[in-house]
């Protein structure tokens, strides 16, 4: 890929097929139209990386044999990217047909170093997949209002590459929402919500697998936040009632957005154990640190 590429897409891949294949299929045509560089940082066997390279010859594959965290994999992609803009999409998501165009337009329309958009559900047929969607992406439910924001998620986001390189030491330190983004905001970096920059979250997920992933993610997230002891103590004391408070906040967000309220109501019996695991993971993260939790997140 020429160094003249204006935008690079970086995808960390651990889970693999069918997710990574569907994600790349959604990017194929628009990457060609936009002359975008697409980088998959494939964590696993040589055969896994070779399969992606063989099936998608227009994709640049970076192979990482050892088990690494998702932020570390993304950091490797950012280091190798040639575009002035670096867009990040999860391998669990597929891009809307105009995602790259909207991403580039959002950067061109204003003096924004970071832009991001909503994560939309793929109209799942199973309740467990709605549970994953509501729990993981409730901050990013559609519809969105265009404008300044402080809350963008790394499933659907794009940065000026020169900005990321300035903060390169933070890119592998933990999930960017917990580590990188607060530092950027403190330093006055402007975040912009781009309502038309849409990705769709895909299922299916086994419920037991998701509970384990939720625990590891929550522990890693809490361990990376660096809260003062006083705030950690408040969390510990409040932990018995936190699942109910989280449920109330989640329900309010769904209601205010009018985002598939019917599916949310049907999902409640499965949401409760997920929120309990969510709190348990954060509790352990605050008390004992992240440990190797981030390495277990896929």
- Domain shared by 180 and 272, yes or no: no
Residue 36 belongs to some domain of the structure: yes
Cα Dmax for the chain? 55
- Domain shared by 80 and 224, yes or no: no
Residue 107 belongs to some domain of the structure: yes
Residue 42 belongs to some domain of the structure: yes
Instruction: Find the angle CA(293)-CA(296)-CA(298) to the nearest 5 degrees.
Output: 130
Residue 84 belongs to some domain of the structure: yes
Q: What is the pLDDT along the chain (298 residues), one digit of tens a residue?
A: 333 469 999 999 999 899 999 999 999 999 999 999 999 999 999 999 999 999 999 999 999 998 899 999 999 999 999 999 999 999 999 999 999 999 999 998 877 899 999 999 988 999 999 999 999 999 999 999 888 887 899 999 999 999 999 999 999 877 888 889 999 999 999 999 999 999 999 878 889 999 999 999 999 988 877 788 998 999 999 999 999 999 999 999 999 999 999 999 999 999 999 999 999 999 999 999 999 998 999 8
- Domain shared by 45 and 93, yes or no: yes
Residue 116 belongs to some domain of the structure: yes
Q: Which of 153, 182, 201 is the last residue of a domain?
A: 201
The pLDDT of residue 3 is 37
Q: Which of 149, 184, 201 is the last residue of a domain?
A: 201
- Domain shared by 166 and 240, yes or no: no
- Domain shared by 113 and 261, yes or no: no
Q: Which structural domain range is residue 267 located in? A: 207-296
- Domain shared by 51 and 176, yes or no: yes
- Nearest C-alpha neighbor of 121 from the set 105, 104, 143, 101: 143
**DSSP letter, residue 169:** G
CA atoms within 13 A of residue 171's CA, in its CB half-sphere: 20
Any idea what the CATH number is for the domain that residue 25 is in? 3.90.550.10
- Domain shared by 173 and 227, yes or no: no
Residue 2 belongs to some domain of the structure: no
- Domain shared by 86 and 220, yes or no: no
The pLDDT of residue 64 is 96
- Domain shared by 219 and 292, yes or no: yes
- Domain shared by 247 and 176, yes or no: no
Q: Which of 150, 184, 201 is the last residue of a domain?
A: 201
Residue 1 belongs to some domain of the structure: no
Residue 96 belongs to some domain of the structure: yes
The pLDDT of residue 274 is 96
Neighbours of 51 (CB within 10 A): 18
CA atoms within 13 A of residue 19's CA, in its CB half-sphere: 20
- Domain shared by 33 and 175, yes or no: yes
Count structural domains, the chain.
2
- Domain shared by 231 and 158, yes or no: no
């Amino acid at each position: 890929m020429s160094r003249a590429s204006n935008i690079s897409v970086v995808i960390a891949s651990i889970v693999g097929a069918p997710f990574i294949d569907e994600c790349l299929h959604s990017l194929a045509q628009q990457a060609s139209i936009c002359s975008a560089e697409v980088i998959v940082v494939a964590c696993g066997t040589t055969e896994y990386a070779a399969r992606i390279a063989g099936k998608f010859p227009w994709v640049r594959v970076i192979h990482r044999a050892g088990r690494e965290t998702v932020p570390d994999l993304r950091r490797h992609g950012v280091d190798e990217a040639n575009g002035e803009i670096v867009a990040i999409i999860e391998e669990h998501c597929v891009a809307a047909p105009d995602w790259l165009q909207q991403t580039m337009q959002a950067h061109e329309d204003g003096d924004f170093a970071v832009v991001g958009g909503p994560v939309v559900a793929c109209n799942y047929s199973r309740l467990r997949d709605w549970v994953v969607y509501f729990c993981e992406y409730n901050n990013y439910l559609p519809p969105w209002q265009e404008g300044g924001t402080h809350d963008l998620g790394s499933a659907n986001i794009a940065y000026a590459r020169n900005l990321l390189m300035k903060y390169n030491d933070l890119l592998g330190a933990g999930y960017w929402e917990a580590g990188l983004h607060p530092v950027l905001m403190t330093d006055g970096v402007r975040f912009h919500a781009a309502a038309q920059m849409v990705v769709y979250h895909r299922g299916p997920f086994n419920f037991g697998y998701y509970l384990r992933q939720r625990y590891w993610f929550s522990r890693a997230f809490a361990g990376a936040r660096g809260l003062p002891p006083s705030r950690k103590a408040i969390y510990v004391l409040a932990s018995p009632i936190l699942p109910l408070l989280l449920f109330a906040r989640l329900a309010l967000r769904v209601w205010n957005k009018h985002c598939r309220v019917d599916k949310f109501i049907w999902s409640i019996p499965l949401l409760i154990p997920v929120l309990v695991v969510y709190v348990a993971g954060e509790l352990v993260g605050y008390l004992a640190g992240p440990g190797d939790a981030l390495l277990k997140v896929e």
